[in-house]
Each structure stands twice: as structure tokens, then as C-alpha cells.
Structure 1
Amino acid sequence: MTVSMKRFLSINTYHPESETISISDTSVLENILSKRDILAQTAKIFDPLSLCASVTVKAKILLRKLWLLKLSWDQKVPTDIMAIWSNLAEDLSGLRNLSFSRQAIDSDGLLKLHIFCDASPQAYGFVIYRVQNGKSHIICSKVKVAPMKAKTLPMMELIAVYIAFKALIMLLRTCSNIKVENIIVSVVAQFVLSWLLSDNGKIKSLYTRNRIRDIHEENFTKEFGVDIQYKYVPSAENLADLLSRGVSLEKFKEKLGYWTYRPTWLVQEPENWPISTLSCLSPENVKNVFDSTIGGTICKLLILFDRFSSFDKLCHATAFVFKFVNKCK
């Protein structure tokens, strides 16, 4: 080990000259035979901040697939799994060549936190960014594979919001000496946004109601003096999309700057943020979202009044629309 490199807990390498950290030099073996071997090699990559989770999640998804195949620990894995692992092992070994800025948060200046949540049939997770002094930077992320018992995508994204809140509490308590100006939680599923902004008593699923209750019980205003704002973000602008689906090392390198430092709109005024039609939200919830995130921009109407020849026909169509929206909640 050279003087210019220091190890932290034998997992990260610190480069004082460039003020960067990287995953320690770890070689992941490509030649494996069993599920036990894949787990042992995957465990070599320990990334506590999940800075490289967009790549490592592919190993977790592969292990989940092996569990679904009901293979024993020492049973030989199929040939197609071996081929997938061979490419994945090369990607995992290549993570040691990536580096990230060590200082994610400045001690001076108001701090804004932006959380992106997303889910796919294979995994769900979140990523937290700080916006401070006109700049933004990734703080940490977290990704988990989908449970063996299938759940709907909106429910999984709700769980992603739930685990994001748990991590957020730890982050705010750790950075208690820094003033947090506001916190924005962005989700892709409009159903989830509707759940978070509505009375959970109207939701039929007991599990969903309990998760929403757990989220609402976290009183950030009382403990930290900051409110939570919710925002819908298109999938193309959601950085957590990389987490939930997983990418190759080559693709991750291409998006490394985007992943580390933000989409360009994140440091701009809310009026310049992406705008989308929120067709699954009630007018009151649409107003809440727009007032807090995109400067009160008017949403496109669901029902075009000038297409109806009489007031009775308009009322009849409107009733069907509200009936459909209520069933979707």
C-alpha cells in the first residue's frame, strides 16, 4: 500500500490527493459451480453507501433467480446462469477502478435533499442527493431484491419510499449540525403519489395502509424542523431507475457523471423541473404537488368540457371518471 492510499475498514480506498474514495481492490472469480460460490463471490463487494449498487444489484437479482429455481446450495447451476455470472464477475471486479468524491455534504450553506424512489419486478430502492451551494452530489442509495412472493409495482415502490424514510432519519440525525431547508421525495408511480397524499383509510389493502401509516407517523417537522414534499418524476428522469433494473459496468461508466452529480434540472428552480400530467390524482392532490414542486403549473384537464353538447352528458361522463379513479386508489 502506498502513502497516497489509506484503507477504511478494509472496504474502501481513500486517495487524499484527489479527495476521492473507491471500492477496495477485490478480484471476483468467474469460474463458479454452485449457488454457494456465487454468494461467496458477491459478498466480496462490500459497498456500505451503495454507490455502485446499480451494478451489484445484478448479482442480487441473479441470486434471487437461483432461489426461484429452487437449487440447493451446492447443486451445479445451469449453463446459462454460468454465462451470465461470467460477464457479471468481470463487471464486479472492474468496480475497483471507479472513484467518488469523499465530501458529499458541505458544512456551510443550506442543505436540500432530493430522494428518488423506483421499483421493478426484480428490485426496488432509492437514492439520496444533496443540493447545496448550487451543486448536487449523491450521498447514498439502497436497493433490495423483490420478495419471492410477488407484489404489485406500486406496492413495491411504496416500500422503496418506506425504506428511504428510514435512511433519511439516520442521515438527518447524523448531520444534525447542518440546516436542512427542504426534502423532496420523487416517485414514478402516480398511484403511490396518490396514496401518500390521501387518507389511507380509503385504501383496501391492509399492508398498503400500514406502510402509509408508518410513513405518515414520521414527524420530520417536529424532530428536524423540515417538511416533506412529494413530486412525480418521469421514469426517464428518475435516477433510481438504474438501481431497480441494474446496468452493466460499461453502461454505468457512461452514466457515472449523471449518477454522481444529478440531472441538470435538479439544481435549477422548481419552475424548470420536468412537467407531467397527473391523471391519477385528485384535483386537490394535484394542486398540492404542483404548489410545492413546480410553481403551480396548471395540469391538463382530464375532461374537455367543450366536447359535450349538454350539461347532463358532462355530469354523466364526469361521474364515470371519478368512479374509475376511486376504484384505482
Structure 2
Amino acid sequence: MVGPVVQQDLLSITIRFRFRRLAIVADVEKMYRMVKVQPNDQHLQRILWRDSPDETLRTYELTTVTYGTASAPYLATKCLQTLAKENEANNPRAARVLKDDFYVDDMLSGADNVEDGKQLIHEMIELTSSGGFTLRKWISNEPQLLEDLPKTLLDDRVTLELDKSSAPVKTLGLLWEPMTDRFVFRPPKWNDNSPITKRIVLADTARLFDPLGLIGPVIVQAKIFLQNLWKQKCEWDEPLAPEFQRFWLEHRRNLLALESLHIPRWTGFSSTLNKSEIHGFCDASEAAYGACLYLRSTNNDGSIIVRLITSKSRVAPIEDPGRKKKKQSIPRLELSSALLLSHLYEKLVHSMQISIPAYFWTDSMIVKCWLSSLPSRWQSFVANRVSEIQHITKKGVWNHISGIENPADIISRGMTPAQLQYQRLWFEGPQWISDDYCTWPKTSAALAEPDESLLEEKSSVSLPIRVKAPNLSTQAFLAAFRRFVAIRGKPQIMMCDNATNFVGANRELKELRQQLNDQQFQYSMIRAAEDDGIEFKFIPARSPNFGGLWEAAVKSFKGHFRRTIGINPLSYDQLHTVVQQVAAILNSRPLTPLSNDPHDYPALTPGHFLTGRPLTAIPEPELHEIPENRLELWQRSQVFVQRI
């Protein structure tokens, strides 16, 4: 049996490796040979051996884990994990490094200062020695960390290869230069004599080793080309068309430019920083979609450093009419890129186990709208992804950015290595991210500079006027109107719908309807309103379309009222309370686009024009799960409101 993977993946380990200012690297000497197999299992590792054909065959039993067996990686790494677990109490820091910062037999760790680094090296040597393991080939970007170690245990290599795969085919290796503390790339050597087939393209693509996605725009070009071959239904071992062969040979030659690409290993993060932030960007094209994460670090002197942490890309799904699989629209691909960004952010948070403020950026206002609403509003494809994105990024803020400033646009379309090495946008993000917050793009121009005509149109609010039914005189109606003005303030225009909503009511309400339609009554109302500078307008009977937005508000009120109250009998106090709360909810709806920027202005609502501030409700406990027969009179009315 192979056994499960017990160590963390290479992406998580290398991400943490980039967050340490001082890098510390070592490996376990002959790790497999240091792990002894149980005596009752050693007979399963018998071999036949002789030094020459003239000698008699001898039978040996291998007593230690043997390289090449299926279970060897699991047995050896499980021993390291067990050693870490057994020493968590006595040596917690070294145990954590042994548990989390080892990839097979390689340690990729670090520290923030020389003193902590030397202490970590001492503790690691002590811990591994207690289990019979020896750490060797120590190397660091800070020579002071290694000055106390014997030279026999040091590594004098100029570059360290992070991909130590035993595969016979060499990959595009990601290497680390300790002296310069930079990542460099070594393009593989290609066999240009053989014709290019789809199988060779797939093999070449698999040899591009970039776990952090630092050259994601280069690799996505290979992914897109491979998908195009799939669309063309090319055979695996059939030579490609001449134009495809020329493209791939040119792609191979372009990869040679990666030798001149140098990327800083350290992201600038430190526990002594004044402030750190995560900024994520996502974008999509017709061919692919991608996401990238950046760390924005503010030092104590006010200087700001922005570094690319990691990125990820995927090709757009292929349209398949036979399986009724349609081509994805750009907005849906943009939403998929936002989900990819969420997963990448989740991976980073899980790897670092620290809480850092997060900002997420998309150049799609459609996606921004989807994420600002409840998932239940949308169809299943959008609803499922919106729900997951909102759950993962609930501690972050989603914002809008222009496409030209979006670094994820580069990974969604691809770029050659020669072009990429001069792309500051890709490696350091947009220019404004290194500046003060006031230079950051606003989510909506309407929030920064509101359109007065729009606010005037949106601020028309329809509010019910209560009239005591037995008294239907003009003076009684004006008295009710005065009370309305005293509570809500004096309106500029007062609209009346001719009481068509009273049709079918009792006798008193019918008389009210007749009075509102009476010309003399209307004249009295208009004259009384003119004295206060209020324009009083009556729309035609049975013509709610003349009411516009305020009739839409009445419709919303009726809809909520019917769905929540239905035929339930209410006392006057209950009815009055529910009506006022429903009106407050409707008057709390935003008139302008919502913003997730904590530094932006709050959204304007009708409540701002009514009271000068938002209409807030008194906190109430959740009452839905309490049986109705156990609810008090006041609680029953609140259940109706909570259903809205």
C-alpha cells in the first residue's frame, strides 16, 4: 500500500517560506535508511545477491525502509510527523517546523532575526537527533545563522532547486539563490528534432514547474494552446499542423528568456510591521480566467512594499453540444475567477494561520452586484458560487477596479517571458496600491459625487396617512396631514392616488374615497397646502402608473404586508407597530450602489431624508423556532416583521 500524504503540500510550505525574512534550509541525511522496518515485516524486503556469476546466490533481508518501494515515502514522513507530535510539549517550536515545514526530507523554514534563527537551528538539530536523523546541507541568505555549524554540514551550492523530483525528465526548475535571496528559473532542454504532437505538448506543459504561480501568465499560454489542440480533435501521436508546430517551437524559444527573470523570495512580511494587508485580484477572458494575491506591507517608517505572493489560472470550459454543455458567458467566467480567488485566499490563510485584513478586486460590476446580494436571488450556477465566495471572504472587502489596472488580466490572457519581466503591474500590483488609501479607486462614482437629479428622483417617499374613519371632514383630513408633517417633515410635493385602494372597504372608507374625489375637497386641500409652500397633486383614478416610484413603494409595502400578515387578526397596537416597522424597512433600502470599502460613505437611504440618519431597529432575538402558542402578544407581531 502507498499510504496517505501526511505532510503539507508544496504550495503551503513555499508560501510560508516567502513570509520569513531569514530563510533556513536543510535536508535529512539518508532519511529512508534511518527508519527501521518492524522485524515481522522485514521478510517482505528480501533480495537475492552475489558479487559475481561464480558465486552462490545469497538471500538478504533489508531492515530499513527501502527507496523505490511504494510505501517508503509514507513510512519515512510518518516517522517525522510522529517525532514532532511526541515532542510538542518539550520543544514546541521545533516540533511545529518538523510537522509543517518539511517537504519529504527537505526543510524550508526561517526566522525574523538572527537570534531566533540560531535558536531554531539548535532546536531542530536537537529534535531530529533524538529520533536518529541528521540534518545536513544547511544554507541561508544570512551567513551569520550558520557560523556555529561545522563546515561538513553546510551546503555550498550557489542555487537551490525547490523541485527535487526524481523524474528522468528535467522540469522548468524553480530555484533559489541564497546570496541574492531571489527566485530564478532554469528552462529545460528540449528535443527540437522530433515532430511536435499533442502528447509532446502535454509533456512539455507538465515540465513547467511553478508551484507559486510566479510565472502564471507564461504557463497559461501553454494551457490555452493545449486546449485549442483538444478543440481541433488532434490525435495524440499525429504531427500537428505546420502553424501549430511553429507556435510551439516559438513558445519553447521564448522560455529561454526566463533565465533573466529574478523574483525576490521575501514578501516583506514581518511581525514588527506597522500594518499588513492582502490584496486579491481576479479576471477572465474568453480563453481563461485567473487570480493573484499580493501582500501590502507598511513599515514603521511609512514605506510600503507590495509583492506578488501566488497566482492560479484555469482555462475556460469547452463548449460541448453533445453533452448540452454551453459556452460560459464572460460574467460567469468572471464569477468563476472570483471563486478561484476565494480558494487561493483560503489556501493562504490556512497556510499562514494569521489574520490579515483582505481586499478583493474585480473589474466586473456584474460580479460585484452578485456578491452584494443574497445568493437566493440568483439562479443555481450563480447562487452556489456567490454563497461560497461570501462564506470564504466574509472577513474581506470586495471592490471594483478598472480592467487596465487589474493584474489578473495578464494571467487571464497570457504573456511571453520577455514581456512579463518588464511588467511591474504583475509583480507589484497597480501603482495606487503602493500609495495612500485616498488614491485607491472608489467602488462607485455615484458614491463619491452623487448625482443630485438622481437623489431627487430616488428620494420621493410614499408614506401612509392615517385618518380616523368616523370623522371624514376636510378639517379632520387636514389635521391628519398636519400630524404627518409634524412627524416626517414638510414635503415639497404631496401626491394623492384618489383612494382607489379603498375600493371594497367598509362604508366609512367608501365615504373617504368619495370625499377625496370631490372637487371642493381637493380645492380645499390644495389651498391649505399652498399656504405652507407644498404642491398637492391628484393623479387620475385607477391610474397607479402615474405614481411612478412612490406607487412602487406602495406595492412593495402591500406585498410584504400580505405575505407576513395574511389573514391573521391583529390588535390595533400590533397592526400599528408592524406597519411602522415595515415602513422603516422599506425606507432603509439604499438609493445608491452599495460599497464594501470601509473608508467610503454609507449608502443613502430614504431614512436619511426623513430623519437625517439611517433608520435602525432595536435588536430582537430570533423567534422563528419558538412554537407560536408559546409566543407573547408582542413577540407574535415581531415574528411577522422577522419574516420579511
Report the TM-score when normalising by structure 2.
Answer: 0.42
Confirm or deny: 8 A CA contact 1:287 1:296 kept in the other structure.
Answer: no
Change (3 A) 1:128 1:241: same
Considering Cα pairs closer than 8 Å and 6+ residues apart, tell me whether 1 or 2 has the greater RCO: 1
Structure 2: how far apart are the matches of 1:74 and 1:201?
Answer: 48
The one of 39, 57, 72 aligned to 2:220: 57
Shift of 1:70: 0.9
The one of 286, 309, 316 aligned to 2:593: 286
How big is each residue's C-alpha offset from its partner over 1:58-89, in whole Å with a ceiling of 9 and x where there is no partner? Answer: 11100010011011211221111112112111
Aligned twin of 1:138: 308
How big is each residue's C-alpha offset from its partner over 1:190-228, in whole Å with a ceiling of 9 and x where there is no partner? Answer: 00000001122221x3111111112223375xxxxxx21
Aligned twin of 1:327: none
Structure 2: how far apart are the matches of 1:60 and 1:111?
Answer: 34
Structure 2: how far apart are the matches of 1:229 and 1:89?
Answer: 40
Structure 1: how far apart are the matches of 2:444 and 2:314?
Answer: 30
The one of 26, 29, 39 aligned to 2:188: 26
Aligned twin of 1:166: 343
Aligned twin of 1:8: 162
Q: Describe how 1:37-56 pairs up with structure 2 within 5 A.
A: 37-56=200-219
How big is each residue's C-alpha offset from its partner over 1:140-175, in whole Å with a ceiling of 9 and x where there is no partner? Answer: 000111111220111111111112111211211221
Structure 1 residue 296 and structure 2 residue 473: aligned?
Answer: no
Structure 1 residue 268 and structure 2 residue 435: aligned?
Answer: yes
Confirm or deny: 8 A CA contact 2:161 2:176 kept in the other structure.
Answer: yes
Confirm or deny: 8 A CA contact 1:119 1:156 kept in the other structure.
Answer: yes
Q: Describe how 1:150-299 pairs up with structure 2 within 5 A.
A: 150-176=327-353, 178-180=354-356, 182-203=357-378, 205-218=379-392, 220=394, 227-255=395-423, 257-275=424-442, 277=444, 286-289=593-596, 291-292=597-598, 295-296=600-601
Confirm or deny: 8 A CA contact 1:158 1:192 kept in the other structure.
Answer: yes
Change (3 A) 1:44 1:248: same
Confirm or deny: 8 A CA contact 1:5 1:16 kept in the other structure.
Answer: yes
| Residue segments in structure 1 that go unaligned for 5+ positions in a row | 221-226, 300-329
Aligned twin of 1:128: 293
Secondary structure in structure 2 of the residue aligned to 1:286: coil
Change (3 A) 1:129 1:219: closer
Confirm or deny: 8 A CA contact 1:136 1:267 kept in the other structure.
Answer: yes
Confirm or deny: 8 A CA contact 1:157 1:189 kept in the other structure.
Answer: yes
Confirm or deny: 8 A CA contact 2:306 2:434 kept in the other structure.
Answer: yes
Larger radius of gyration: 2
Confirm or deny: 8 A CA contact 1:28 1:92 kept in the other structure.
Answer: no
Aligned twin of 1:317: none
Q: How many residues matched?
A: 285
Shift of 1:137: 0.4
Change (3 A) 1:296 1:29: farther
Change (3 A) 1:172 1:276: closer
Confirm or deny: 8 A CA contact 2:590 2:603 kept in the other structure.
Answer: no
Structure 1 residue 111 and structure 2 residue 265: aligned?
Answer: no
Change (3 A) 1:234 1:219: closer
Structure 1: how far apart are the matches of 2:209 and 2:190?
Answer: 12
| Residue segments in structure 2 that go unaligned for 5+ positions in a row | 1-154, 165-172, 299-303, 320-326, 447-588, 605-644
Structure 2: how far apart are the matches of 1:212 and 1:183?
Answer: 18
Confirm or deny: 8 A CA contact 2:595 2:603 kept in the other structure.
Answer: no
The one of 253, 271, 285 aligned to 1:90: 253
Confirm or deny: 8 A CA contact 1:21 1:100 kept in the other structure.
Answer: yes
Q: Describe how 1:308-327 pairs up with structure 2 within 5 A.
A: none
Structure 1: how far apart are the matches of 2:338 and 2:208?
Answer: 25
Report the TM-score when normalising by structure 1.
Answer: 0.80
Confirm or deny: 8 A CA contact 1:117 1:127 kept in the other structure.
Answer: yes
Secondary structure in structure 1 of the residue aligned to 2:267: coil
Matched AA of 2:385 = R
Change (3 A) 1:30 1:85: farther
Change (3 A) 1:229 1:64: same
Change (3 A) 1:28 1:34: same
Structure 2: how far apart are the matches of 1:71 and 1:285?
Answer: 52
Structure 1: how far apart are the matches of 2:416 and 2:384?
Answer: 36
